[in-house]
Amino acid sequence: MKKLLLSFFCLVLAQAAFAQESTAQGSTNIYTMSTGETILSFGIVDAEPLNTGTVARFTPFFNFGQQLHFDFSPSFGIYTGLNVRNVGMITDLNDSVRVKQRTYNLGLPIAFKIGDVEGWRFSAGFEAEIAFAYKQKVYVNGEKRKSSSWFDDRVEIFQPSVFAEIVGKDGNFIRFKYYLNDFLTANQQINVPGVEYNPTRSSMFYVSIGYAIKNKNIKSSF
């Protein structure tokens, strides 16, 4: 996995260098964009001897960010930024116990984009996310129990991911993201007598729709 990420960064840097060499000196557009997205996430959880099942999780808020774009030509650019994102999963442990778990993550993406950099385009990249706020809801025979904490040891604090997206000329996009680490740790997840929930696998991915609105030009060259 480390070799894959290193190869990705080398590819982005090589493309950026090529784009800069192929355009006139100083011909780089730099600007910011505000983003938001609505997330439909999915999980795959293994926690023997439980026969777990997962439910899709719909998350319209709060998922927002600021992007900083560098367009080296009308057809190639890169962007970075900061995002705050609500991600998680819903797991049925048996017929009577359901667990909803989510974190708010602070993310730092790096991505390249090709196509019309301010119109229809394709982007792909890597994002490093830190899970800083955890919340859990446990339903036992319909009765709800909830708790929350900061930097909880029931989830992986570092959550790296890869993503790809298609962006329209008005800034609307559809994104696919896959998390490279398990979402949950192997620690006991819930405080329910007689139920041992220690997941050995908790993969997570999502599909989202959103928007990206250009809000400030820092430098304009073409």
Per-residue pLDDT for the chain (222 aa), expressed as one digit of tens each? 545 454 555 544 444 444 444 444 558 999 999 999 999 999 999 999 999 999 999 999 899 999 999 999 999 999 999 999 999 999 999 999 999 999 999 999 999 999 998 889 999 999 999 999 999 999 999 899 999 999 999 999 999 999 999 999 999 999 999 999 999 999 999 999 889 999 999 999 999 999 999 997 888 876
CATH of the domain at 18: 2.40.160
pLDDT score of 17:
47
Model pLDDT, residue 142: 87
Half-sphere exposure of 7 (CA within 13 A, CB side): 4
So what's the pLDDT on residue 33? 96
Q: Considering its fold, how many domains does the chain have in total?
A: 1
Cis bond leading into 109, ω under 30°?
no
End-to-end CA distance of the chain: 38
Which structural domain, as residue segments, surrounds residue 46? 2-219
Give pLDDT, residue 210: 97
Question: What are residue 109's DSSP bridge partners?
Answer: 127
What is the reported pLDDT for 220? 80
DSSP 5-51: HHHHHHHHHHHHHHHHHHS-TT--EEEEEEEEEEEEEEEEEEBTTB-
